Structure 1
Amino acid sequence: MSARRRAALVLTLALVVALALSACGLDQTSPTPTPEPVDTGPILAASPTVDPLMPEGDGNLGESVGASNPTLAGLPAEGQQLEDPPTFTPQPTAAFLPLMISASDGLVLQATFYNSPDPFAPLVIMLHQVGGSRADWEPLAQRLQAAGYAVLTLDLRGYGQTGGAVNWSLAQSDVAAVIGLVQAMDDVDTSHLVLVGASIGANLALNACADMSGCAAAVLLSPGLDYRGITTSDAMVRLGVRPTLIVASEGDDNNPADSLTLDGMAQGDHQLVVLTGAGHGTAMFNADPALLEQIVQWIGARVALPQ
């Protein structure tokens, strides 16, 4: 049999078998088998984990492409805070505050406000003597502040940091400007002011207190009946029954004579303290340090602090 006849016979037999299987309802289609993996070489063992070595550079972020920065893992996402914000604690109010007060002629008066630890505390205003400044009152101001009072000390025109020319007529309007400023404050009790003065400052304090309904008491160190045209006898009458403390020293020129006269004119609660050889005005604090506490106690007994 030739090769051609043999191939035709095989093809015929294949068709007969296919027809027979189809007749029996059998599907000659079979699933495609999954190919076996081809062995391409030996399997390599896993390499051990090691600490990566960062490329050398100047440390700037992003300098080395592909290098990881371990610190970035601990940084927050964009818009997220590094940590919870701390609880806000308000700063304490300053104990001493410089003040600048405009006088009627435009001169800027320099003052210091001693803040009270108590809200709406009574305010004590202090006026210095000739040749002095608001620094003379610091020992008494600090004690009154510690007791709970607010205090304002002033450099009168021509003295201390205020400067300008000395003018005692304008000084009276300066004190009125100061009182007008403090009456506008919301955190002090300006309905119970205390005016304290030394020498000519005592004369200014007495006149200012006498002409203001909100003044509750006056403390006068070495006052005079007439200092540089500022008189006190008429002011003592206008003061009425409001409490007055007068302190003077023997051998101080017109004192204690003038102080005795003024004390005799007082109509209400009044006290006169006469020291021996203690000097004039605020100089008496150095000669008799107990005077500081005596003044604090006197004010405390007459001008009450808020409860």
Structure 2
Amino acid sequence: MKRSLPTLFVALALLLSACGGTATEAAPPDEPAAPTDAPPPEASATTEPTSAAPPDAQPVDGSPWQSEFDPLPAEPVAVSIPTADGRALSGMYYPAKVNPAPIVVMMHWAGGDQYDWWELAPWLQNRADEYAPGAWPGTGVNGPWLNPSWFPLVLPEASFGVLVFDFGGYGSSPRGSSPDSDLQDVLAAVRFAATLDGVDPARVLALGGSLGADGALDACVLFNRDPSEGAACIGSLSLSPGNYLGAPFSYTEGALELGDAGHSVYCLAAENDRESGHVCAEPEHENYYGYIYSGDDHAMFLIQPYKMPSTPPQSSETLKLVLEWLALATGLPTQP
């Protein structure tokens, strides 16, 4: 069933959660080339827990956002993600202020690299005030998703771990030689995320744009077919998917598979986006939420202030839909 997600439904979903084919491969739309020589920012943190939580990371009485262990330091940490074919992808891990925490794997589009998430990753981590950000390294496109002044507020105690990475052939990640290299990359990232210190492996989520939009759903499906013990990818959010990665199933088939498993699938696309509009409009499932925007904006350009879906009509900007998706998928509150 294609439907919207009114605030009342989100609240009800949070209360309830406490109790509980071959795709046609297409080339992503033309996008500006991604930079390949931008070095990752320096990170001074390690992945070892600190002896005590920072003052603003203390649990809030009565909140479901609670720590079993001391949180890791807030500073993002450079990581190397191994792939099945022996490559190593460049990435960055942003530890949450609670431990263990859900983790969101963010997957970039063909027009950029991991630095497209330069502001959105700290937004979901929700503890950037605990460290001094490095100099912005630059991305392929400078857009509104890099200006946090308009981002919606996140509940103060809410905090997600975040993993970003460069696909092979972007940034400093070596390009793979096999036709399924991109699929290897996204699956490797989700598997790696589930193993990180400070992460609850049973609450992995994936979000992406364009080729990363397909990557988010494809990786969740493939990971859940052969998960590590106690691990699961519990939701995907796709900004303009287009069956770009050549997965052995279509976007619709993958969305229905995740939906049947009880996981929340969001798909956002513009009606005049030739490759993506019809993709988001196809699936029908009670756990599937398709949102169609007017115009032809693609992927990251759906992340703009005051930009809201027209079908079904919404009063929520794209980033508020991201927070609603995270709340529905995890059963944890995300907005004040």
Superposed pair shares fold, TM > 0.5 = yes
Larger Rg: 1
Alignment match of 2:299 (pick from 271, 281, 284)? 281
Which position in structure 1 is the counterpart of 2:325? 298
Distance 1:234 1:153 in 2: 26
- 1:209 and 2:226 matched: no
Q: Are 1:137 and 2:158 counterparts? A: no
In structure 2, C-alpha distance between the alignment counterparts of 1:302 and 1:95, rounded to whole Å:
26
Contact 2:187 2:222 in 1 (8 A): no
1:227 paired with 2:244, answer: yes
CA distance in 2, matches of 1:219, 1:166: 28
Aligned match of 2:102 = 122
Deviations, residues 101-128 of structure 1 (Å, cap 9, x unaligned): 2223332201111110111010111111
> What TM-score does the superposition give when structure 1 sets the normalisation length?
0.63
Q: Which deviations, in whole Å up to 9, do the C-alpha atoms of 1:72-127 show, x marking residues without a partner?
A: xxxxxxxxxxxxxxxx9999814311111222333220111111011101011111
CA contact (8 A) 1:137 1:282 kept: no
Give how far 1:278 is off. 5.8
Q: State whether residues 104 and 204 of structure 2, in contact with CA within 8 Å, keep that contact through their aligned partners in structure 1.
A: yes
> % of aligned pairs identical?
27
Distance verdict in 2 for CA 1:115–1:206, change over 3 Å: same
CA contact (8 A) 1:216 1:242 kept: yes
1:183, distance to aligned residue in structure 2 (A): 2.5
Alignment of 1:242 onto 2:222: no
Structure 1 stretches lacking a partner, 5+ long? 1-87
1:193 match: secondary structure: strand
Give the CA deviation at 1:295. Answer: 0.7
Cα deviation for residue 145 of structure 1 reads 1.1
Question: Separation in 2 of the partners of 1:228 and 1:181?
Answer: 20
The residue number in structure 2 matching 1:103 is: 83
Kindly indicate whether structure 1 or structure 2 has the higher relative contact order, using CA contacts under 8 Å at least 6 residues apart.
2
TM-score, L = length of structure 2:
0.58
Query: Which whole-Å CA distance do the structure 1 matches of 2:118 and 2:304 have between them?
Result: 12
Establish whether residue 218 from structure 1 lines up as the match of residue 218 from structure 2.
no
After TM superposition, the structure 1 stretch with the greater mean CA deviation from structure 2, 120-129 or 284-293, is 284-293
Moved over 3 A (4+): 88-92, 165-168, 286-290
Is 1:278–1:288's contact at 8 Å kept on the other side of the alignment?
Answer: no
Q: Which runs of 5 or more residues in structure 2 are unaligned?
A: 1-50, 55-71, 127-157, 225-231, 308-316
Please give the per-residue CA displacement for 1:124-175, whole angstroms capped at 9, x wherever unaligned.
Answer: 1111122321111233322211131111011100112214357651121222
Residues 79, 91 of structure 2: 8 Å contact kept: yes
Moved more, 157-166 or 237-246: 157-166
- Asked if 2 retains the 8 angstrom alpha-carbon contact of 1:242 and 1:268, the reply is no
Give how far 1:292 is off.
Answer: 1.6
Contact 1:101 1:109 in 2 (8 A): yes
Shift of 1:243: 1.0
State the aligned residue count. 215
CA distance in 1, matches of 2:329, 2:255: 18
Letter in 1 for 2:103: L
